[in-house]
Structure 1
């Protein structure tokens, strides 16, 4: 099934924003957890409250940014958020972590005396976790993800070079390997992401197509009987609730069988399609409905329309058919296609079946009253 490019691109944009919204929230909650782990770890490993208070001071911006971001997400919501806001927040969260990591560096030597040299590996582990976190949270937005992840990887490389200046090969190799892994993984994941969205769009298009096939008459393009029944029941409920008038026009092509027998079924089908186009133009208001009732019978639902208004519509249809000049050489009333119409306005407590039966009785009177005319609640015209 071919998908229109604008539809897919629009859905891709929507799904990317949804993922970023949820991904940034997840990164925020994980940031709070990591900040708490850092504080608890330092308190557990050192006996100095001064060191612990300094650590709290370093990660305090992370707490502030994440809490404010989560509150903003709760207030704004996913639907009102946009990529600019999400990218800005992700950038601020990244900078708060950069500040926390860089602030810890001057204390590495002092902390190593307390922890036996374990702090450097701890900071590197934190950076690796941040790389993984932001790679997952931001992967649909390639530019933002690579910028953030590259920054963390570079900081990790610099930390190791500063602390262990005699070992340059390992941090450089690690930096390049992590960057290649992240770039290739993002490419693969984003490809799967796009394919999943494409399948979802295809599924939605198929559902719409199947629904259209279930509700639309294949020949005329008008609503079919099933759709008509649903809309009529719905409009009756609306009229019951609001006491607004609801009118119905049931119409039948005069001498259609003769046209089929004389000119063939293809000409008959062309006649019905032409009538369908005319009815679509006649039923032009948003809630008006033109439907193929069955065979050569059609029906119009006219909400907020009384009998007089429906008669005006019927007269417009007669005039439109005269102007269309669809041939019907075996008709007894005209050389062109005409219709007989039954018009009635819905009455309180009347069921849809009774309503249709009344319209059908008026149509019967119009057909036996000379055809090419309409009969209504008022009189034959």
Structure 2
């Protein structure tokens, strides 16, 4: 499976950025912990080596950046942070630490190995936090690598090969490690995308009618149960329309089952267009029968929808040479209104009774209670 496959690029980019934001947030938490470690060492163990008052002032920018990151993550939420905001914050965090390292180096009264060690720790922290994006990772760790090498060179000017060797070794190890980890990471994302696609397809197969591409009986049953509960809880009306294509068997016998299937698809499209609200649902009930759920709709509203369906079917002019009522496809409709205490089966039974009346009274019409 090619990782650079075009169909995965958008999802890979989105997943990578999400992991990157989580990594930066993790680096912020680690930065807060490291900051307190620096304070602990400076004011309790190395207090004779630093000008404490000046150092406190120099560390204010870092404190402000860390506080900004934690506050934003808490109030705004990680997923609402934009790309520009993320990279701007990362720049501020790296700059804050760089400024803090320089302050520690300048304000120390003698050589302090802990400053160089802190820079090395920051290299590892930001390498781990930013590993999904190699370019961003390099920009994040280079200031600390350069500082570590420069600090060591200034303190031990006679041995320049050590900081240079350390710089190159750190850089090569991190880059090679990032390549391996990023490879695993992207493969895991691709597998996860494939899994989500399969689950989505299985769910669709379970809820969508394969021919007409509208909801199937199973989905209808689930939705009707939920809507009846909502109607009972909110004391709002709920109506359904049970619809049967008139003389569909003779149409199949005359034009063939393939044409019959094409007409089922076209009728389903007409029903979909007739519904205007997001919560309204049309489903294939079985064979040539369809059913419509109309939440928050009284009997007059349901009659209006049934009339609209009747007019739209007439306008579609789907030729029906074997119909006993029209030259074109027509439908009989039964309308029922949910009443408190009704079960879903009771509502369907009532709609079916109205449908029977519509069919026995000449078809191409709708009946309601």
Structure 1-normalised TM-score?
0.84
1:269 Cα deviation from its structure 2 partner:
1.4
> Cα distance 1:301–1:105, how it changes in 2: closer, same or farther (>3 A)?
closer
Match of 1:66 in 2: 66
CA contact (8 A) 2:214 2:284 kept: yes
Counterpart CA distance in 1 for 2:179 and 2:18 is 19
Question: Is 1:220 aligned to 2:220, yes or no?
Answer: no
Question: Is 1:252 aligned to 2:258, yes or no?
Answer: no
Structure 1 window deviating more from structure 2 (178-187 vs 288-297): it is 178-187
Measured against aligned partners, the alpha-carbon deviations of 1:310-329 in whole angstroms (never above 9, x if no partner) come to: 23332333333333333333
Measured against aligned partners, the alpha-carbon deviations of 1:356-378 in whole angstroms (never above 9, x if no partner) come to: 1111111111211222222222x
Structure 1 window deviating more from structure 2 (85-94 vs 215-224): it is 85-94
Counterpart CA distance in 2 for 1:163 and 1:27 is 29
CA contact (8 A) 2:50 2:107 kept: no
Match of 1:116 in 2: none
Residue 123 of structure 1, aligned match among 115, 120, 123: 115
CA contact (8 A) 1:250 1:360 kept: yes
CA contact (8 A) 2:3 2:187 kept: no
CA contact (8 A) 1:39 1:52 kept: no
Counterpart CA distance in 2 for 1:326 and 1:64 is 70
Match of 1:181 in 2: 173
CA contact (8 A) 1:271 1:326 kept: yes
Match of 2:226 in 1: 234
CA contact (8 A) 2:242 2:351 kept: yes
Match of 2:355 in 1: 363
SS at match of 2:78: coil
1:19 Cα deviation from its structure 2 partner:
2.9
SS at match of 2:340: coil
Match of 1:206 in 2: 198
Question: Is 1:374 aligned to 2:359, yes or no?
Answer: no
Measured against aligned partners, the alpha-carbon deviations of 1:271-322 in whole angstroms (never above 9, x if no partner) come to: 2122112211122322221111111111112233333332333233333333
> Cα distance 1:2–1:324, how it changes in 2: closer, same or farther (>3 A)?
farther
Structure 1 window deviating more from structure 2 (147-156 vs 32-41): it is 32-41
> Cα distance 1:57–1:300, how it changes in 2: closer, same or farther (>3 A)?
closer
1:65 Cα deviation from its structure 2 partner:
3.7
CA contact (8 A) 1:31 1:62 kept: no
RMSD of aligned Cα (Å) = 3.1
CA contact (8 A) 2:55 2:107 kept: no
Residue 148 of structure 1, aligned match among 121, 124, 140: 140
Measured against aligned partners, the alpha-carbon deviations of 1:95-146 in whole angstroms (never above 9, x if no partner) come to: 23223322333466x545xxxxxx34x3332221111111112223443321
Question: Is 1:353 aligned to 2:348, yes or no?
Answer: no
Match of 2:335 in 1: 343
Counterpart CA distance in 1 for 2:164 and 2:149 is 7
Question: Is 1:159 aligned to 2:151, yes or no?
Answer: yes
CA contact (8 A) 1:43 1:49 kept: no
Measured against aligned partners, the alpha-carbon deviations of 1:252-278 in whole angstroms (never above 9, x if no partner) come to: 122222222333222221221221122
Counterpart CA distance in 2 for 1:376 and 1:46 is 88
SS at match of 1:370: coil
Counterpart CA distance in 1 for 2:36 and 2:277 is 62
CA contact (8 A) 2:332 2:363 kept: yes
Question: Is 1:77 aligned to 2:77, yes or no?
Answer: yes
Structure 2-normalised TM-score?
0.86
Counterpart CA distance in 2 for 1:269 and 1:2 is 39
> Cα distance 1:29–1:288, how it changes in 2: closer, same or farther (>3 A)?
closer
Counterpart CA distance in 1 for 2:308 and 2:57 is 80
The unaligned stretches of length 5 or more in structure 2 are none
Counting matched residue pairs gives 369
Measured against aligned partners, the alpha-carbon deviations of 1:28-71 in whole angstroms (never above 9, x if no partner) come to: 33234334444545667668376667766665654454344323
Match of 1:326 in 2: 318
CA contact (8 A) 2:321 2:327 kept: yes
